[in-house]
Amino acid sequence: MPYLFTSESVSEGHPDKVADQISDAILDAFLANDPSSKVACESFVTTGLVVVGGEVRSEAYVDIQKAIRKTLHKIGYTKAEYQFDYNSCGIMSAIHEQSADIAQGVDVGREEEEQGAGDQGMMFGFATNETDNYMPLALDLSHRLLRELADIRKAGKEMTYLRPDAKSQVTIEYNDDHQPIRINTIVLSTQHDDFAEEKNMRDQIEKDVIETLVPRVKASLPERIQALFDDNIIYHVNPTGKFVIGGPHGDAGLTGRKIIVDTYGGKGAHGGGAFSGKDPSKVDRSAAYATRHIAKNLVAAGVADQALVQVAYAIGVAEPVGLFVDTYGTAKVDMNDGEIAKTLSTLFDLRPSAVIRNLGLRNPIYSETAAYGHMGRPSEMKEVEVLTPQGWEKRQVETFTWERLDRVEDIKKAFGL
C-alpha cells in the first residue's frame, strides 16, 4: 500500500539557523587564523540580542562582534523594524578557554595518529539513490524551496514583501517498492512585510509561491523528479494567515536545535550531536561527515540502493569502537550487512586525525554548511570571506569535501563490482 513520508527545512533567517550561522562564523574565523584551534561555540538569539558562549583554545584573535554583525547582515537582518538587526543588536560574549582535562585526551601526541576522539558517542551517515545527490527526496525539495526563496528575496525584484524567516515541508508519496511516485503536499510559511490590505495578503503570497517559487524549483530538477509534480499537490502557504513577526524577535534561537534539518530529514538515524560551532576534533561533526562520505560512495558504487553507516567512539581514543552498516535489504552483493561493514572498515580510516586530514576539515569551510543542510551539497572550490586581524579577506577553499565521490572505484574493486 502506498505511504507518505515528510521532511522539513528552515531558512537562513530562522532563529535557530541564525544561531548556527553565528557559531560557525566564529569557528571559521578561528580556523582561518589558527587551523589547530579548538572551538565549541554556542549562540543564543532573541529580540535585539545575541549571546555567545563556550570554550576556545587558539593562538588566534577574533573580533567576535565583527564576525557576528557580518553574518547577520548577510542573512538579511538589516532593518530596525525586524526588532533584530545587524547594526544595533546587543552582543554579549562569554567564551572562555577549553578544559585542560579534555585537551589531554584529544590533543595530538608524538604521532599525529594518536589524536583521540573529542567525545564519546555514535554518529550516522545516510545515502539513497532516489536523488542525484544521494539525499532523501523530501528533504532535498524542502531545502531547494527555501534556497530559491532566499535568492528571490535578496534579488528584490519579485515577492518584494519577503522577510528572512521561513520554513518549508514536503510530503512524498511512495509505492510498495519504496519508490517516490508523486509529491503529495507542500507546506511553506514565510515571514513578510505588513500588507496594506490584509484580506488579500495570504492569497497573494500563496499565488506567488505556486506560480513563481515552485516553477523555479521544478525547473532546476531532473526530468524524473519534475514528473512527480502534478496538479493535485496540496498546498498550505502561510496557513496561520499572517507571519509579520518572525526571526529572533518572534522566537528565541539556539545553536544545534535543527539537527534533523541539518542531516537527512528523519530518514536513516541521528546520533544526537549537533554540528555548528564545533571544530573537527569533535567527532559529533567530523565523523558524521565521514560516515556520509562512506554511505554516499557505497550507494554510488552500486553496493546498495540506500545505506546507513554508524561509527562510535570513546573520548580520547583514536580507533572507533565499532562500525555498523544497514542496507535495508537493498544490497546488490552476496554479503550480509556485517560483512559489508567489515570490508568498509579496511577501506576507510576513521581515526579522527585521518578523517580531518582526508576531508580537509581544518579549513574555514563551516559557514557554508550552517543553513540548508550539511549534506547533499556539491563539493567544490569556492571563494569565501574570512575574518583576520587585518580585516576581511577572500580565500579559496574546498567546501563539502565529504560529498566527493572519490572512493567509488575502490569500493567497486573491494566488492567485486
Find out whether 81 is annotated in a ligand binding site: no
Q: For this structure, is 368 an active site residue?
A: no
Rg (CA), the chain: 22
Find out whether 107 is annotated in a ligand binding site: no
Find out whether 218 is annotated in a ligand binding site: no
Find out whether 42 is annotated in a ligand binding site: yes
Catalytic residue among 243, 275, 348, 415: 243
Catalytic residue among 63, 178, 218, 252: 252
Catalytic residue among 114, 173, 251, 349: 251
Q: For this structure, is 282 an active site residue?
A: yes
Say what the alpha-carbon torsion angle 150, 156, 158, 159 is, to the nearest 10 degrees. 60
Q: For this structure, is 326 an active site residue?
A: no
Q: Which residues contact residue 278 at a Cβ distance below 8 angstroms, ignoring those fewer than 6 apart?
A: 27, 39, 40, 41, 118, 284, 285
Catalytic residue among 12, 262, 284, 326: 284
Q: For this structure, is 42 an active site residue?
A: yes
Find out whether 334 is annotated in a ligand binding site: no
Helix (H) or strand (E) holding 355: helix 352-359
Which sign does the torsion angle of CA 314, 398, 23, 136 carry?
negative
**Best CA proximity match to 297, nearest among 202, 389, 219, 412:** 412
Q: For this structure, is 112 an active site residue?
A: no
SS3 112: helix
Catalytic residue among 147, 192, 282, 374: 282
* DSSP annotation of 331: B
Do the Cβ atoms of 375 and 392 come closer than 8 Å? no
Q: For this structure, is 17 an active site residue?
A: yes
Find out whether 167 is annotated in a ligand binding site: yes
Catalytic residue among 5, 8, 12, 17: 17
Catalytic residue among 144, 147, 192, 278: 278
DSSP state letters, 157-226:
SSSTTEEEEEEEEEEEEE-TTS-EEEEEEEEEEEEEPPPSSGGGHHHHHHHHIIIIIHHHHHHTS-HHHH
Which sign does the torsion angle of CA 352, 354, 359, 363 carry?
positive
Q: For this structure, is 243 an active site residue?
A: yes
Catalytic residue among 5, 8, 12, 14: 14
Find out whether 207 is annotated in a ligand binding site: no
Find out whether 262 is annotated in a ligand binding site: no
Find out whether 16 is annotated in a ligand binding site: yes
Q: For this structure, is 195 an active site residue?
A: no
Catalytic residue among 202, 257, 293, 377: 257
Q: For this structure, is 14 an active site residue?
A: yes
Q: For this structure, is 158 an active site residue?
A: no
Name beta bridge partners: 172.
5, 183
Find out whether 274 is annotated in a ligand binding site: yes
SS3 54: strand
Alpha-carbon distance 318 to 133, whole Å? 31
Find out whether 249 is annotated in a ligand binding site: no
Find out whether 211 is annotated in a ligand binding site: no
Find out whether 98 is annotated in a ligand binding site: yes
- 391 — alpha (psi -120 to 50), left (phi > 0) or beta? left
Find out whether 306 is annotated in a ligand binding site: no
Catalytic residue among 57, 69, 153, 167: 167
* Residue 150 amino acid letter: A
Catalytic residue among 16, 24, 279, 403: 16
Catalytic residue among 8, 20, 42, 305: 42
Find out whether 73 is annotated in a ligand binding site: no
Find out whether 55 is annotated in a ligand binding site: yes
What are the binding residues? 14, 16, 42, 55, 98, 165-167, 242-243, 251, 257-258, 274, 278, 282
What are the binding residues for Mg(2+)? 16
What are the binding residues for K(+)? 42
Residues annotated as catalytic (active site), given as ranges = 14, 16-17, 42, 55, 167, 243, 251-252, 257-258, 278, 282, 284
What are the binding residues for L-methionine? 55, 98, 251, 282
What are the binding residues for ATP? 14, 165-167, 242-243, 251, 257-258, 274, 278
